[in-house]
Amino acid sequence: MRKYSVFAVAREALRGHKGWEAQWTSPEPRSSYDVIIVGGGGHGLGAAYYLAKEHGITNVAVIEKGWLGGGNTGRNTTIIRSNYLYEESMDIYEHSLKLWEGLSQDLNYNTMYSPRGVMMLSHNVHDQQSFKRHINANRLYGIDNEWLTPEQAKAFVPVLDIAKTARYPINGAALQRRGGTARHDAVAWGYARAASDRGVHIIQNCEVTGIRRGPGGEVQGVETSRGFIGAKKVGVSAAGHSSVVMEMAGVRVPLHSNPLQALVSEPLKPIFPCVVMSNTVHAYISQSDKGELVIGAGTDQYNSYSQTGGLQIITHTLDAICELFPMFRRVKMMRQWGGITDNTPDRSPIQGVTPVPGLFVNCGWGTGGFKATPGSANLFAHLIAKGEPHRLAAGLNLDRFRTGRLIDEAAAAAVAH
């Protein structure tokens, strides 16, 4: 793999940009691998990368039904933060945030991580108490988070309406300065390129149709639309389709798949300096480097795999955006789409071993998996390589729904969870 650098850009500029090579290869699948990862999104590709980089396991295939990053990795609103309430959550999201900080250098790929700050608006006494509890919990755990008065919030985001007569008055805000955004496609592509360079096979347009198990119940490999591929270890990282894939191995998981929508506006000049979220009125917004306002809406109430979603969900969010930022009322929305999120009963992810020997699962990231991509991938690789979870992910096991040791982030979660 040729390294990307300013010299490479200069060299190619002189040669008419004819020397760029494909970022990853698309080899024919082997008959078997040491590890198969089902799902070529950020989490799956990242896990393959870290398996190769940190655990020396390079005989790995990532099998993707569609194209890389075409699922939730390419459909989210790219928000990154780690200001969660419980230690299990803070552990993995902060691990992730630290990896984000060095990810572009690590992958030699510009993921455009931008720690521009994530601000959560408080509208009432309950919000204020809840956010301050979060801030205190975060700071005690070594994670940055601070309280802002309405005036300080306005100074940070000048377009914010803090008038006392506003439809949704603001009595303060929580700000995580290290939070921000990254470029979603670049994350998938960067991991794919770096993994492919280390020998990982990336197999796109190949659907897993079954999981073959041996006489002892152990995993033997996966049936795919391109034939059987053997592996003693299979990691499932299939996001909204995790229930479907796990069912192939006879494992039921406590998930609901719901559409979650987002939309972007026409491109504007730089106007919006950070990410602003309002949990109470259900809106979140940032501005991409292309200038589009990126707006996240909510999930539909019912199970669905349709990748669309109801119109009333996005109009509800836009109503709130227009009240909070009156100047955006005349902005035209350009595109809208949906992704299928896999939600657990306690709104915390599941990463761990399963009752099937050799089968590992990484799912339940729900509406907030993007921010966790590097951390989740890194710890999932550890899980697959060692056969047992890393200390930072130990609490996220599937068994917690039997033992009752839930991680109840639901009540505390923000909108863009």
Partner 1 sequence: MLLIHCPYCEEDRSELEFRWAGEAHIARPENIAAISDEEFAEFFFLRNNEKGLTYERWRHIHGCGRFFNAARDTVSDRFLMTYKAGLPKQQVPETGASEKTVETYEATEGDAR
Residues that bind partner 1 (CB under 8 A): 241, 243-244, 252-257, 301-306, 308, 310-312, 345, 401-404
Between 228 and 401, CB nearer to partner 1: 401
| Alpha-carbon torsion, ordered 281, 185, 100, 22, to 10 deg | 180
State the minimum distance, in angstroms, from the CB of residue 36 to partner 1. Answer: 21
Overall size of the chain counted in residues: 417
DSSP state of 364: -
State the minimum distance, in angstroms, from the CB of residue 224 to partner 1. Answer: 17
- SS3 string, 182-251, reads CCHHHHHHHHHHHHHHCCCEEECCCCEEEEEECCCCCEEEEEECCEEEEEEEEEECCHHHHHHHHHHCCC
State the minimum distance, in angstroms, from the CB of residue 243 to partner 1. Answer: 4
Find, among 116, 149, 174, 172, the residue nearest to 412 by Cα.
Answer: 174
Per the structure block, which two tokens stand in for 338?
């949906």
State the minimum distance, in angstroms, from the CB of residue 294 to partner 1. Answer: 23
Q: How many whole angstroms separate alpha carbon 280 and alpha carbon 379?
A: 32
Between 304 and 378, CB nearer to partner 1: 304
Between 20 and 302, CB nearer to partner 1: 302
Between 70 and 254, CB nearer to partner 1: 254
Between 11 and 252, CB nearer to partner 1: 252
State the minimum distance, in angstroms, from the CB of residue 304 to partner 1. Answer: 5
CB atoms within 10 A of CB 98: 14
Between 15 and 252, CB nearer to partner 1: 252
Supply the angle between the helices 42-55 and 373-386 in degrees, to the nearest 10. 50
State the minimum distance, in angstroms, from the CB of residue 10 to partner 1. Answer: 49
State the minimum distance, in angstroms, from the CB of residue 56 to partner 1. Answer: 36
Phi/psi-derived region of residue 117, left when phi > 0, alpha when psi is between -120 and 50, beta in every other case: left
Q: How many whole angstroms separate alpha carbon 208 and alpha carbon 180?
A: 34
Between 167 and 405, CB nearer to partner 1: 405
Find, among 77, 121, 79, 78, the residue nearest to 261 by Cα.
Answer: 77
Query: Residues near 15 by Cβ (< 8 Å), separated by ≥ 6?
Result: none
Between 258 and 288, CB nearer to partner 1: 258
Between 76 and 243, CB nearer to partner 1: 243
State the minimum distance, in angstroms, from the CB of residue 410 to partner 1. Answer: 13
Between 82 and 224, CB nearer to partner 1: 224
* Cross-strand partners of 213: 219
Max CA-CA distance within the chain? Answer: 69
What does the buried/exposed string (b/e) look like for 36-54 if buried means 16 or more CB atoms within 10 Å of the residue's CB? bbbbbbbbbbbbbbbbbbe
State the minimum distance, in angstroms, from the CB of residue 253 to partner 1. Answer: 7
Q: Which amino acid is at 34?
A: D
Mode of pairing for the β-strands spanning 219-224 and 227-236? antiparallel
State the minimum distance, in angstroms, from the CB of residue 411 to partner 1. Answer: 17
Find, among 253, 80, 99, the residue nearest to 180 by Cα.
Answer: 80
Q: How many whole angstroms separate alpha carbon 267 and alpha carbon 374?
A: 29
State the minimum distance, in angstroms, from the CB of residue 344 to partner 1. Answer: 8
Between 136 and 312, CB nearer to partner 1: 312
